[in-house]
Structure 1
Amino acid sequence: MTPLRIALYQGLCGVPGSPAESLDALDAAARRAAAAGAGLLAVSEMYLTGYAIGDAVAALAEPADGPAAHRVAEIAAEHGLAVVYGYPERDGCGVFNSAQLIGPDGHRLANYRKTHLFGDFETGHFTPGETTVVQAELGGLTVGLLICYDVEFPENVRAHALAGTDLLVVPTALMSPYEFVAQTLVPARAYESQLYVAYSNRTGAEGEFHFTGLSCLAGPDGLVRARAGSGADEFVLADVDPALLAASREQLPYLRDRRPELYTPLT
């Protein structure tokens, strides 16, 4: 199988609270990613509206098939690559912190609702999702979605590994002083569950938050294939290699060597 090149765009949205500006910035990032041979572009948690938007969450939330999703689909189809983006999702039972995967033909492939909400802002404005594993097929790989804090729970990542996820894409809004999550925990998650983890963060100041950047693609061998800095907007590229994934799973058979009968006290 041919490796899948992934582009991580690290930055704030166009203008916090302005989805139109964010979509323009996404279009530019998609054009750049496609020119570099990427088959998938991943941006940050709540990319569409900005993260620190307070009570504007309810006003800016859209359905999974709303106007913004249609525009992202147009961008994906125009540039011929898949897109993962974060946004506030509204449906009949609440507002969710969600991430959506749009395929390179513009079709919606997967929509995930954050299951583990972080801090007072998120718990005060969002309803937690109830589905841990959301997947889609892309370029011969099984792609799964989590959002930021979700990846800090090893159970979430292991559930994806057991369900066959090859590449776990994690739109993120990691803030100071939690840099160790991007630097240490994310590569460890990739290693212990034998999959790739693409961690796409924001950077800079927004409201009361200062985002740490450090977006990365970590491989199943625990090595980071690409890493952004902690400062200004950045764009990084790396390959998800199915051959390396298969070899690593053979060499490090954590999933085969599990003894689930010993773990029942965990649940």
Structure 2
Amino acid sequence: MRLALWQTQGFPADIDANLAALDTQLRAAAAGGAQLLLCPELWLGGYQVPEAMAELAEAMDGPAAQRIAALCRTHGVAVCYGYAERNPSGGKPYNSAQVIDTNGQRVTNYRKLHLFGTMERELFSPGEQLEAPVELNGWRIALLICFDVEFPEIVRSHALAGADLVLIPTALTPEYRAVPELIVPTRALENQLFVAYCNHSGVENGLAFLGGSCVASPDGLRLGAVANGDALLLVDLDRSRRAEWRETFPYMQWRRPELYGALTNG
């Protein structure tokens, strides 16, 4: 699979401008042979827009999703994007991400489980469940959002459920550079899967982002990464060395889960 990561500053609180930019990037991704484009966390309306977040929230099948579905059909590239999802129960919106395939169909929608910091906890309802990996272009794909990847159990759960690739829209600031540089490659290595981590760039309403979007492979190495600034990163994911990697790093085969709860089940 050829995967595209779109690291972008975007247009805060301007969904129309972000969708117009997506059209351009999908055209470039298609020209580069990409099958799937990954966008940052809350990309659709912006991250640092607390006063507007509730107004920007849309249903998972809302107007923006329908327009993105049309773009996916036009360009022949699937999209995973972060957005504020309107809460069907009428509560605070969810910090969500969803995948739309090249037929314009929603493949999966995920609500962030681990909300980070005071602002997110005030603005959003936390998700209540993991979503099982789904198939896209012959790959088993799972979604997480930003802070979620910093909890080892959640990535391991997806690995045990058969995920090949974990997609992670994020909104990471510079003091947390250890996440893309250390944690993301570690999650890929210890779980023997690919991890793609796509961040914002630049400064949004006074909040500076790290950039640093990257893709890590099951051998713990980064296949591609970018610094700060807007960028379209194209990375080829190849599973042909999976047996070799799993023999070299046999964490999944040699687990002893029957022992792991002994200290906490008391």
TM-score range, shorter chain: over 0.9
Determine which of 86, 109, 112 is the counterpart of 1:111.
Answer: 109
Deviation readout 1:150-188 (Å, 9 max, x if unpaired):
001111110110000100000010112111111111101
* Fraction of identical pairs, as percent: 49
- CA distance in structure 2 between the aligned counterparts of 1:154 and 1:23, rounded to whole angstroms: 33
Helix, strand or coil at the partner of 1:177: helix
Letter of the structure 1 residue corresponding to residue 234 of structure 2: L
- The alignment's C-alpha RMSD in Å is 1.2
Say which of 238, 241, 252 aligns to 1:241: 238
Structure 1 alignment gaps of length 5 or more: none
Is the CA contact (8 Å cut-off) linking 2:81 and 2:169 kept in structure 1? Answer: yes
Query: Which of 79, 84, 88 is the aligned partner of 2:80?
Result: 84
Runs of 4+ more than 6 Å apart: none
TM-score (norm 1): 0.95
Residue matched to 1:43: 39
Give the gaps of 5 or more residues in structure 2: none
Q: Which of 27, 52, 67 is matched with 1:31 structurally? A: 27
SS for the counterpart of 1:55 is helix
Alpha-carbon distance between aligned partners in 1 of 2:257 and 2:71, rounded to the nearest angstrom? 44
Q: Which residue of 2 aligns with 1:9?
A: 6
TM-score of the superposed pair, with normalisation by structure 2: 0.95
Contact residue 190 and residue 220 of structure 1 kept, 8 A: yes
- Distance (whole Å) between structure 2 residues aligned to residue 31 and residue 167 of structure 1: 23
Q: Give, as a single letter, the amino acid of the residue that structure 2 aligns with 1:248.
A: W
Provide the rounded CA distance (Å) in 2 between the counterparts of 1:75 and 1:246: 37
Write the distance in 2 (CA, Å) between the matches of 1:133 and 1:244.
27
> Which amino acid is the alignment partner of residue 173 of structure 1?
A
State the AA in 1 paired with 2:155: V
Aligned 1:1-267 pairs, distance under 5 A: 4-13=1-10, 15-93=11-89, 94=91, 95-230=93-228, 232-264=229-261, 265=263
CA gap of 1:56–1:92, structure 2 versus 1, over 3 A, is: same
Indicate if the aligned counterparts of 1:133 and 1:159 stay in contact, CA closer than 8 A. Answer: no
Following superposition, the deviation at residue 73 of structure 1 comes to: 0.5
Shift of 1:133: 3.5
Mapped to 1, the partners of 2:197 and 2:70 lie a distance apart of 24
SS at match of 1:91: coil
Q: How far did residue 266 of structure 1 move? A: 5.2
CA contact (8 A) 1:55 1:125 kept: no
- Secondary structure class of the residue paired with 1:254: coil
* CA distance in 1: counterparts of 2:241 and 2:23, whole angstroms: 31
Structure with greater proportional strand content? 1
